[in-house]
Chains A and B, each alone.
Chain A
Amino acid sequence: MNSEAKSRSLDRVTIGRGLLAGVLAWLIPGAGHLYVGARQRALVFFLIVAATLSMGLLSDGNLAVVDNLRAPVLSKLQVVSNLAIGPVEPLIRSVIYGEIVYVNSDPGGKSLSPALEMRKERSFRRYSLYGSVYLLIAGLMNMLLIFDAWDIAIGRKE
């Protein structure tokens, strides 16, 4: 095997390692860091993201839905941020709203589906706004963790 082919195969291995670290980080916050050997950081990150997520749920926070009428761009970014929490996000969505809903099909709010009615009702609860911020921040934190795990896995960062 010549040196060019060898470095190309090494690159592929490194990229595979980076992708695996990123996917693991998305699946479980901190798992990407555990995979690359940063055990202490993995535990701390898991605890911080879990605490932020728990605070969001305990404060009756709402997960974002796409609202093409009032905030077409921002609402999509919020949904992306929520999805960065991991595969647990759709599960949380189905538990608190009764179904997995991502789009506000009736932005006017005249004939909302039961799930969106539930979401609207939660938004009037006392600490709901705080909770929604916690949920958004938990997703953003995990998004950075995914990139950080990738960087460590490919050797760009220690």
Chain B
Amino acid sequence: MIHLGHMLLLSGLLSFYFAFLLADKRRRLKYGFSLWGILVAASLGLSLLMYPFS
């Protein structure tokens, strides 16, 4: 659970960091939330794929 919490927090920080770094003013929030969702989904997907090897 702690691991999941850190993953959510760190991916959120990184998503909004890159949103403010790369996206234009009007699209920042959309960019940030989209990137956050993609990072979390990709991490969960990868962890499920790796589950049989754990």
Contact = CB atoms under 8 A, between A and B. Distances in A.
Nearest to A133: B10
Interface string A95-123: 00000000000000000000000000000
Contacts of B16: 44, 48
B2 A134 contact: no
Contact of B21 (A127, A133, A137, A144): A144
A134 B14 CA distance: 11
A137 B10 contact: yes
B17 A45 contact: yes
B10 A134 contact: yes
Interface residues of B, number: 10
Contacts, number: 27
Interface string B7-25: 0011001101100110000
A133 B11 CA distance: 12
B6 interface: yes
Across the A-B interface, give the 10 residue pairs with the lowest CB-CB distance, nearest first.
Answer: A48-B17, A44-B20, A130-B6, A41-B20, A48-B13, A52-B13, A141-B17, A148-B21, A51-B13, A48-B16
Given A52-B10, A137-B10, 13 more contacts: A45-B20, A45-B21, A48-B13, A48-B17, A48-B20, A51-B13, A52-B13, A55-B9, A127-B2, A133-B10, A134-B10, A145-B21, A148-B21
